[in-house]
Structure 1
Amino acid sequence: MEQELNALPRRAFLGNISKAGILGSLAAFLPGSSSAEVLQQLTAKPAEGHIFLTKPYLQVPAPDGMTVRWITNKLCYSWVEYGEGNNLNQKAHQVTAGLVDAHNRINKVALKNLKPGTQYSYRVVAKEIVDFKPYALKYGETITSDSYSFTTPKLNPETVEWLIMNDIHDRPESIPHLMKLNGTDNYDYVFYNGDLFDYQTDEQQIIDHMLTPSAFSSTKPFMFVRGNHETRGKFCRELADYFSNKDGKGYFAYQWGPVFNVVLDTGEDKEDTHPVYAGIVDFDDYRMEQAKWLEEVMTSSAFKRAKFRVVMMHIPHFHSGDAHGPLHVRELFAPIFAKHKVDIVISGHTHKFGVWPPSAEHPYPIIIGGGPRDGNRTLIKVKADQKTLNLTMLKDDGTEVGKYSLKA
């Protein structure tokens, strides 16, 4: 059986997690250091001990694999204990170029060679490294999380169901609130379609405003693509260290049952030369890189054979104003979408939810989720089988504010 989603790890961390909040101010006294770097330089007080700063959270679901991530407050050697059913009889750690990942706090272990459509139990273990000399390593305290479970996707599932949230904008209470709107309906995963934050401040913001509120993520995976606000702030370049995407990029494609999904990182909404960016962004080239990749993906046999072809990206290329970002996205992606007969595009960004049916400009529907204020937040639910894809958009009071259906 799955563990209760709100269960705490064996060493309770909620009372300690706020201590890491001092890191933002500490970084100010160490010029050039991010909060994550500051934390690595500190030695925690003995009374604090060794603790988990997050529960484990699941990424990159596949029929034969699942990636487990978690964060500790001390530098460690960490691993996952897992097995089929209720067993924990296997161990996995991450190896990079012959070196086992260690002496780090931000942990990632990709479980491989799993069986499709199978339930697995797992827990994470972290052994503190208190001294790391070239030929003498000294371990400290070992901590172990509670056990959780997940089920790998089937090899060729007949159906897929997922939930989409966007434009949370540092309002962490919105995540559990919107998740409750799903009730007891099944879902395979959650997709965060950008602007979970106003701008990137430090590690604690990621923990408090995304990972901890995503209580489901120890048993159900989530995927994440940046919005334009995730490209801002002093910690934006470290953001990717906390998430895993297929192929390790900010844009990616994957198939789950009858749906082939394409995820695009639409970047910023202003010109690269805008003074606020101080000359240190280049999103035009990044979007052109994606357009080249997109053409290759959409000419693949898997894309062509799929019952449904869905694009998810933060900035919609229509119905989002005439700023440089949306217009550049339109220039690059719209011809490719039309040429390869995309079925539906799902976005956010405008803070005005809506459903725009196919038109002369875009021969496919565009769905835009709302947010971030009360009364404008939305949960998008998508369910597809071999014949039909149904999308429903719920406002934060549970009322339906949009729907669309497609036939294969």
Structure 2
Amino acid sequence: MPINLQTENRRSFLKGGLLLSGLALLEPQLAVSHPGNLSEEEFRILTGPYLQTNFGNGISILWITSKNSSSWVEYGESADQLINKAFGKSELGLKPAGRLNCIKLSGLKPGVKYYYRIVSREILDFQPYKLSYGQTISGAVESFLNTDSTKDEISFVMMNDIHDRPKSIAALLDLDKGNKRDFVFFNGDVFDYHTDEKQIIDHLLQPCVDYFAKTIPFVYVRGNHETRGKFARDMAGYFDHVGYTAFTLGPVRFVILDTGEDKEDAHPVYAGIVDFDQYREEQAIWLQQEVNKKEFRNAVFRVVLMHIPPRYSGDAHGPVHCTRLFEPIMNRAKVDLVMSGHTHRYKVHPPAEGLNRYPIIIGGGPKEGTRTLTRFTANRKQITVSMLDDSGKEVGSYLVNKR
């Protein structure tokens, strides 16, 4: 999706873990968890719109309102004619009526620019047989270019391990200013831990909205720090995708793994309420099924994105478990490249005999001087990866040629 960088269900626990969610189904406890008294607050859009996608001629448009609402998206191929209208996914015949809005536009034309506007109608009072509406608010008309998933060349940029330093997002993206990317990828540990909604908005969503996310989608997978904190079980509702998945874009089959926590499940800090070993084991079963699919086998390139690398990240329980579970599958499946974070030390690890048969690119850490932006471009002949530190200096690169 060549756009210039300048310019289903919420909290679903599918397959035993967090998986790709974000639809705005109202739950009473969600309003309680939001700081402040929403009933006394002005009805407004707290943040958004921001875009996410799994490609395949569809895109998800997300935003957050200060109060419960009935919401929709108006869209079309002309800014003056937003003739189509889309609502959030109905569950058991009930349309969403909450604060977290995720509306998926499907059946879009590849390579076509679309214009859209978000609209929310305040729900003042919700009685069993009478619903009272308040004011209706809308955002500005925005646009995005729907990606042609069959195109010959694709590109994205990766950030990782930001650790609650939101200014790093714009600072790193400025290193790539003027280039055209299909998406922005956050490879985990954007946060130190999850405290509340305000943290998610202020430290990720709003910086993305301000810089690119109204027009360019981002893809996001959790790191081990996103599994921590009292709000960790709520955070998936603010995104369309946060867990493991796979998609094809151009010549590349992308596989995203959610590597979970690096500590053992029995660690005292978790007080017996996590089960990441089982979650990773279930992912390994899913990964074996994925690498047997024709979409994976027939791809020109196969790239895995995962926060904890499958090697070279120490002897803590989580990294060792990832290596044991995932590395043999990826070796047999002839993965071409793995991109990770977690270690806070940028490094390019070439294939190693008897270990990883693919290169592993590891991004840097959160502090100035260690931060990195990793740029990825692929065509039908080769993958080019270039990693920049926050001064703009290239500190790592790798070229993968078609087998």
TM-score by length of 1: 0.89
1:66 equivalenced with 2:59 (yes/no): yes
The code of the aligned residue for 1:238 comes to D
1:292-311 mapped onto 2 (5 Å cutoff): 292-311=285-304
Match of 1:347 in 2: 340
Report what 1:91 is aligned to.
85
Partner of 2:181: 187
The 1:337–1:6 alpha-carbon spacing in structure 2 relative to 1, beyond 3 Å, is closer
255, 269, 277: which is aligned to 2:270?
277
- Find the partner of 2:99 among 91, 101, 105: 105
Distance 1:41 1:207, change over 3 A: closer
Q: For residues 95-135 of structure 1, what are the alpha-carbon distances to aligned partners after superposition, in whole Å with 9 as ceiling and x for unaligned? A: 32353533300001011121111100001001000011111
The change in CA–CA distance for 1:118 and 1:379 in structure 2 (over 3 A counts) is same
Letter in 1 for 2:376: V
Per-residue Cα deviation, 1:251-289 (whole angstroms, up to 9, x for no partner): 000010001000000001111011111111100000000
The alpha carbon displacement at 1:41 in A equals 8.9
Confirm whether residue 161 of structure 1 aligns to residue 155 of structure 2: yes
For residues 325 and 49 of structure 1, the distance between their equivalents in structure 2, rounded to whole angstroms, comes to 44
With 301-310 and 169-178 compared, the bigger mean Cα shift is at 301-310
The corresponding residue for 2:221 is 225
Q: Which residue of 2 aligns with 1:209?
A: 203
TM-score (norm: length of structure 2) = 0.90
Partner residue, 1:22: none
Residue correspondence of structure 1 range 6-405 to structure 2 within 5 A = 36-39=31-34, 42-45=37-40, 49-86=42-79, 87-214=81-208, 215-245=211-241, 250-360=243-353, 361-405=355-399
Runs of 4+ in 1 over 6 A off after TM superposition: 2-7
User: Is contact 1:371–1:377 with CA below 8 Å preserved after alignment?
Assistant: yes
**DSSP 3-state at the match of 2:283:** helix
Q: Which residue of 2 aligns with 1:21?
A: none
How far apart are residue 85 of structure 1 and its match? Answer: 3.2
Q: Within 2, Cα distance between the matches of 1:6 and 1:357?
A: 33
Task: Report the more deviating stretch, 81-90 or 269-278.
Answer: 81-90
Residue 4 of structure 1: CA displacement? 11
Residue 64 of structure 1 and its aligned partner are, at CA, apart by 2.1
The one-letter amino acid of 2:187's match is: N
The structure showing larger relative contact order (alpha-carbon pairs under 8 Å, at least 6 residues apart) is 2
Deviations 1:22-57 (A, max 9, x none): xxxxxxxxxxx9774244993443xx5211100200
Structure 1 residue runs without a partner (length 5+)? 8-32
TM-fit CA distance, 1:148: 0.6
Residue range with higher mean Cα deviation, 53-62 or 183-192 = 53-62
CA distance in 2: counterparts of 1:4 and 1:131, whole angstroms:
43
SS at match of 1:181: helix
Contact preservation (8 Å) 2:157, 2:185: yes
Deviations 1:219-255 (A, max 9, x none): 000010000000000000001101112xxx7100001
Partner Cα separation in structure 2 for residue 406 and residue 5 of structure 1 = 25
3-state SS of paired residue (1:341): coil
Give secondary structure in 1 for the equivalent of 2:243. coil
Kept in 2: contact 1:64–1:113 (CA 8 A): yes
Contact 2:3 2:144 in 1 (8 A): no
**CA distance in structure 2 between the partners assigned to 1:313 and 1:3 by the alignment:** 25
CA offset at residue 78 of structure 1? 0.4
Task: Determine if contact 2:5/2:177 at 8 Å carries over to the other structure.
Answer: no
Aligned-partner SS, 2:181 = coil
Change (3 A) 1:5 1:76: farther
